[in-house]
Amino acid sequence: MGTQEIMVRTFFIETHGCQMNEHDSEKVGSLLRHRGLIPVPAVDQADLYLLNTCSVREKAARKVYSRLGRLRRRKRNDPGFLIGVLGCVAQQEGAELAKKAPFVDFVVGTHRYHELPDVLDDLEAESPSRGQRRSTRVATSFLDEPTPVEMKVPDREGAFRAAVTVMEGCNKRCAFCIVPQTRGRERNRPSSLILDEVRRVAAAGAVEVQLLGQTVNSYRDPSRPGYGFAQLLADVAAVPGLKRIRFTSPHPRHFSDDVIAVIAGNSNICDQVHLPLQSGSNRILRRMRRQHDADWYRALIEKFRRCGRDIALSTDMIVGFPGESDADFEETILLVKFARYEQMFSFKYSPRPGTEAFPWDDDVPDLEKTQRLTMLQRLQREIQLEIHCDKYLGHVVEILVEGTARDGQRLFGRTKSNKIVNFFGVEEPGEFTQVRIVEAGPNSLLGEALVDCRLADAV
């Protein structure tokens, strides 16, 4: 039986999960392009398939094996086709994943993406015989360095929006969350490198920058004592050409007064702030180890309300955490009524292996969780509709155009407060335009272009 030479020329990356994963895939793609590989739009055209995985929710983690299972037959017939798994499931399961899906060629964890070119070199050098199975390579141990390994960021010439990593990992221990296990402890990039990257993307045409980190506002420059997130945000806001600055995902605890003052004082920092609450009950917040209580959180909202800008708040919420009673849930409802979020991401609790809460009695029946979630989401829809009618309907808003809407006819774009607006227009992605909001639903806004200057000029 002859050997089949492995020559990896093309790649396809499938990404699940958050913006951090999206950005990691961007960086991995850039690394592979620098090695001479060409990205292709579909897995069946690729010599190398990378699955960048998410394990935050059970459903996402389960999807990994069904995605891999579908490629098994191709792998059997074509040993030169390589399959690699990256991301949080790779990090968490490592060798276990290699056992469950032995046809996978490599599993690379969240600290080790820079090693991918070496992994590919080794695999190409091996060239297995047809039918021969080699063992899966597993590289998932955390690196012990205080800063993340710098990876070449993609060439983003012409992109109107760019993500820039500020920090990785998390030093908190929220009882429901797997992130500290999948991303490791906090590692901050030096501000000089962050600012160089921001200046580069702005010079290349980006008008919006999104600063990324698992607890982005806990940022501390490892090379400049005393330089924290407030300073970084102020320095990013001063970069010429940037019209919109966003950051995700913050922790309420790290919104110090100086961070709020920088947001208040710089109109190019978006007037939208994510304040993940998870529960409005102090008892549950303590069990969750969230490091804030409901009164402290209310006071934080008041600070944003008094800061001089109309800040749109958004949040994350979990219902049915172990031990959550009707009274605890009622506290959540009260806090939601107080906060009046413009957006909410809400979920039923599901135990995730590896978290502190995993062995706890998941004692809220599923039906009860569903009812609480339905009640919470109904309330949130009512609040959103009220806000959409009061704050947006009839008003003119500035939109950064992103592309064609789902109906294939309109365009869609985002307000600075992160509201998606659909409208008829002729603008290109990356252009700003003014639209009047003419229709408002709980989840959508419809706009009408004011005047299209280019058409007016042409007449």
CB of 253 to ligand SF4, least distance (A): 8
Burial state string for 42-73 with b = 16 or more CB within 10 A and e = fewer than 16: ebeebbbbbbbbbbbbeebbebbeebbeebee
Q: Which amino acid is at 87?
A: G
Query: CA 187 → CA 232, 236, 260, 282, 334, distances in Å?
Result: 15, 19, 23, 30, 36
CB of 178 to ligand SF4, least distance (A): 8
CB of 248 to ligand SF4, least distance (A): 11
Give 186 or 221: the residue with its C-beta nearer to ligand SF4.
186
Give 62 or 173: the residue with its C-beta nearer to ligand SF4.
173
CB of 168 to ligand SF4, least distance (A): 11
DSSP 8-class letter at 310: -
CB of 42 to ligand SF4, least distance (A): 33
Burial state string for 77-116 with b = 16 or more CB within 10 A and e = fewer than 16: eebbbbbbbbbbbbbbbbeebbeebebbbbbbbbbbbbbb
Query: CA 344 → CA 152, 352, 397, 424, distances in Å?
Result: 34, 21, 22, 27
CB of 172 to ligand SF4, least distance (A): 4
Please calculate the CA angle 331-335-338 and round it to the nearest 5 degrees: 145
Give 134 or 173: the residue with its C-beta nearer to ligand SF4.
173
**Distance (Å, rounded) from C-alpha 274 to C-alpha 59?**
24
Give 87 or 430: the residue with its C-beta nearer to ligand SF4.
87
Asked whether 63 and 42 are in contact (CB, 8 A), the reply is no
CB of 18 to ligand SF4, least distance (A): 10
Conformational region of residue 359, where left means phi above 0, alpha means psi within -120 to 50, and beta covers everything else? alpha
188 φ, ψ (degrees, to nearest 5): -105, 140
**Distance (Å, rounded) from C-alpha 273 to C-alpha 269?**
10
| HEC sequence for 105-167 | CEEECCCCHHHHHHHHHHHHHHCCECCCCCCCEEECCCCCCCCCCCCCCCCCCCCCEEEEECE
Give 83 or 170: the residue with its C-beta nearer to ligand SF4.
170
Query: CA 341 → CA 42, 237, 313, 384, distances in Å?
Result: 38, 25, 5, 7
DSSP 8-class letter at 181: H
CB of 170 to ligand SF4, least distance (A): 3
CB of 276 to ligand SF4, least distance (A): 7
68's CB contacts (< 8 A; 6+ apart) are 51, 83, 85, 101, 103, 104
Q: Which amino acid is at 458?
A: A
Give 354 or 429: the residue with its C-beta nearer to ligand SF4.
354
Give 215 or 417: the residue with its C-beta nearer to ligand SF4.
215
Give 90 or 179: the residue with its C-beta nearer to ligand SF4.
179
Give 243 or 283: the residue with its C-beta nearer to ligand SF4.
283
Residues that bind ligand SF4 (CB under 6 A): 170, 172, 174, 177, 179-180, 214-215, 251
Give 71 or 177: the residue with its C-beta nearer to ligand SF4.
177
CB of 77 to ligand SF4, least distance (A): 41
